[in-house]
Amino acid sequence: MKPTFIHSLVNSPFEDLSLFVRIMRERRAFLFDIGSICRLKPGDLQKITDVFVTHTHIDHFIGFDTLLRALLRRKRPLKVYGPSNITDCVEGKLRGYTWNLIKEYPLKIDVYCISGDKIIASSFHSENRFKRIDYSFSEFDDIILREPLFTIRAIQLDHQIPCLAFSLEEEFHININKASLKEMGLPVGPWLSELKKAIREDRSGDTEFTASNRKYKLKELRDIAKITRGQKISYVTDVSINDENIKKIIEFVRDSDTLYCEAYFMEKDRDRALERFHLTAEITGRIAREARVKNLVVMHFSPKYRNDTDTPEDEAMREFRHPTF
Ligand SMILES: [Zn+2]
Ligand SMILES: [Zn+2]
């Protein structure tokens, strides 16, 4: 089964954080946090349409300038989602430069600030020198973006400051049954992407497709599409150790195919973790185990462990794989 989302961290776990998620068969990608992104290729930067920022500590937001520089001449808008101060932080970044020569540029940046039970939308257009326009707000329950292919949810956690965690869930996965395709004498090709799109958008059974110079109706093609559970990827970082946070995270990341989670400190430095509002690797391992996550990727390690033989990853994995009985 070919996954819909291809995901990987941009940097090593000792460097600034950024998770790059590419959507297969679409020229589109997401970033979760925007720490250093210098390792992404220009073509990958151009695919980024949505950036989800947990909080704006410098190690999670310093890459914004790199992305802005790369996208200035792009027609497709950039959408940025983040916690209660995200709009001020984007505005602050934009005010750090002089913009008298960009009137003809197409870039538009839409910012969605998640604060309490509201999402407040603002916009910055290059045609008016990125002057801030606040234009609407809507209710926030937990969904911040829903499209036929996927849903992105957020929760608000505590890191002394508000910090968001995100999940990306594919609504369902469609596999093409090659045997049925062959039986019907149908070829593989781009028309199958159209078919998948039509199923996702729940279009009428009479929707027509052309394959091998013949017309077929959607209802005649249902058997070649096998529907299975979609992918779930979760991203959690920079979280204080407290019961409320941990309970909320376990619920939120439950049954993820992959959980990306911080393991900044090790259990031997729990006092430091409490002082700095971070999890320990052992707690991260326990969260992943209790949430029945399939695959745990730990990230965001304190540089103090750089030369240690027993790493935050070792500690998290011991706890994650520890039998529960
Ligand atoms: Zn951090
Ligand atoms: Zn932080």
Per-residue pLDDT of the chain (325 residues; tens, 9 = 90+): 788 999 999 999 999 999 999 998 889 999 999 999 999 999 999 999 999 999 999 999 999 999 999 999 999 999 999 999 999 999 999 999 999 998 899 999 999 999 999 999 999 999 999 999 998 889 999 999 999 899 999 999 999 999 999 999 998 888 888 888 888 888 888 888 888 888 888 888 888 888 878 888 888 888 888 888 899 999 999 999 999 999 999 999 999 999 999 999 999 999 999 999 999 999 999 999 999 999 999 999 999 999 999 999 999 999 999 866 5
| Ligand having the closest approach to the CA of 13 | 1
Alpha carbon distance 261, 285 (integer Å): 9
Identify the burial level of 173 via C-beta atoms within 10 angstroms of its C-beta, where 0-12 means exposed, 13-18 middle and 19 or more buried.
middle
35 Cα–ligand 2 center, Å:
11
**263 alpha carbon – ligand 2 mean position (Å):** 12
Protein residues near ligand 1, an ion, with CB under 5 A: 59, 238
Report the sign of the C-alpha dihedral through residues 138, 139, 144, 145, in that order: negative
CA of 60 to the centre of ligand 1 (A): 6
**CA 153 – ligand 2 centroid, Å:** 20
Of the ligands numbered here, which is closest to the C-alpha atom of 55? 2
What is the third-level CATH fold of 1-170? Answer: Metallo-beta-lactamase; Chain A (3.60.15)
| Per-residue exposure over 277-316, b if at least 16 CB sit within 10 Å of its own CB, e if not | bbbbbbbbbbbbbbbebeebbbbbbbeebeeeeebbbbbb
How many angstroms does the Cα of residue 99 sit away from the middle of ligand 2?
30
The ligand that comes nearest to the alpha carbon of residue 59 is 1
The whole-number pLDDT of residue 325 equals 54
Count CB neighbours of 249 within 10 A.
25
Ligand 2 center to 54 CA (angstroms):
9
Which ligand has the shortest distance to the CA of 60?
1
Quote the ligand 2 centre to 57 CA distance (angstroms): 5
Which ligand has its closest atom nearest to the C-alpha of 17?
1
Q: Which ligand is nearest to the CA of 15?
A: 1
Asked if 17 contacts 33 with a C-beta cutoff of 8 angstroms, the reply is yes
* Residue 263 alpha carbon to ligand 1 centre in Å: 10
Nearest to 215 by CA among 241, 231, 195: 195
Name the DSSP letter for residue 78: E
Read off the amino acid at residue 124.
Answer: F
Q: Where in the chain is the domain with CATH 3.60.15.10?
A: 1-170
